[in-house]
């Protein structure tokens, strides 16, 4: 027995197949939605809620290095002064190791102060107009060159999100758990559209100026 399919039924069947195929492609192409991270209410604009370690030191001001140097030298100098004022009489063999320990503690303390002061500007906790201008210039230049804003990464979006959640605002607890961001990821708590808009405006200005 042969069953015949009417033209109208055949067209409906083809449309249903096309709809299913299109829906499956759309489901495959849809990217995982990223839930924006919470932002702290600050007096100054947020630059980066999870700055890379290199950016933290690269954006540090000369005053940060001066304060860090003073803090680093405070421990060994204080220890030397106390030894002069009230000698321990342990001899050179006993004084040198303790002096090296005091120097190491001073260096760690100085780096901690430097990292803290720079991170607080990224978070918008303290005045950061210089850093905002530096960040805008760096990111706009990367957009013009077609480079990733926050560096290339071989990690998946899920792993990048995990890394961002682990180290976001970590400086606030660094005195208890030293935790830094060494990962290039794309979740930094800011709307990156502003960089592309600025780059587009500059490229348009360059084009009209050269023509």
DSSP 80: H
Handedness of CA 149, 154, 158, 164 (dihedral sign): negative
Domain ranges of the chain: 53-199
Phi-psi map region of 54: left, alpha, beta (phi>0 left; psi -120 to 50 alpha):
alpha
At a CB cut-off of 8 Å and minimum separation 6, what does 174 contact?
112, 115, 116
Q: For position 211, what pLDDT does the model report?
A: 62
Q: For position 88, what pLDDT does the model report?
A: 81
Helix, strand or coil, per DSSP, at residue 129: helix
Q: Would you say residue 186 has pLDDT above 60? A: yes
Q: For position 8, what pLDDT does the model report?
A: 45
Interval 38-94: pLDDT, tens: 777 889 999 999 999 999 999 999 999 999 999 999 999 998 999 889 888 877 678
Ordered alpha helix ranges (H), 124-192: 129-145, 157-167
Distance CA 168, CA 160 (A): 12
12 confidence band (pLDDT: 50, 70, 90): very low
DSSP 43: S
User: Which residue, 141, 147, 118, 116, is CA-closest to 130?
Assistant: 118
What's the mean per-residue pLDDT of the chain?
A: 84
Instruction: Indicate the burial class of 74 (C-beta count within 10 angstroms; 0-12, 13-18, 19 or more).
Output: middle
Query: Average of pLDDT values for 11-15?
Result: 42
Specify the higher pLDDT residue, 95 or 103. Answer: 103
Query: Average of pLDDT values for 101-127?
Result: 95
Distance CA 75, CA 45 (A): 35
Query: Average of pLDDT values for 141-148?
Result: 94
Q: For position 6, what pLDDT does the model report?
A: 44
- Tell me the CB-side half-sphere exposure of residue 84, using CA atoms within 13 A: 6
Q: What is the pTM of this model?
A: 0.76
35 confidence band (pLDDT: 50, 70, 90): low
Residue found under tokens 């792993």? 159
Distance CA 90, CA 83 (A): 10
Q: For position 9, what pLDDT does the model report?
A: 47
Q: For position 137, what pLDDT does the model report?
A: 96
């Amino acid at each position: 027995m042969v069953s015949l399919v009417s033209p109208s039924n055949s067209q409906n069947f083809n449309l249903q197949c096309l709809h299913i195929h299109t829906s499956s492609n759309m489901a495959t192409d849809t990217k995982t939605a990223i839930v924006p991270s919470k932002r702290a209410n600050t007096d100054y604009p947020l630059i980066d809620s999870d700055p890379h370690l290199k950016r933290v030191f690269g954006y540090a001001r000369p005053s940060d290095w001066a304060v860090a140097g003073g803090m680093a030298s405070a421990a060994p100098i204080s220890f030397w002064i106390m030894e002069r004022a009230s000698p321990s009489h342990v001899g050179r063999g006993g004084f040198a190791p303790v002096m090296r320990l005091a120097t190491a503690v001073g260096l760690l303390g100085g780096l901690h102060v430097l990292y803290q002061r720079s991170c607080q500007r990224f978070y918008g906790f303290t005045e950061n107009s210089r850093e905002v201008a530096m960040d805008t210039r760096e990111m706009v230049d990367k957009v013009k060159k077609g480079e990733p804003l926050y560096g290339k990464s071989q990690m998946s979006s899920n792993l990048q999100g995990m890394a961002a959640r682990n180290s976001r605002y970590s400086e606030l607890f660094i005195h208890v758990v030293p935790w830094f961001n060494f990962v290039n990821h794309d979740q930094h708590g800011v709307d990156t559209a502003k960089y592309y808009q600025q780059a587009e405006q500059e490229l348009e200005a360059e084009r009209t100026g050269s023509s």
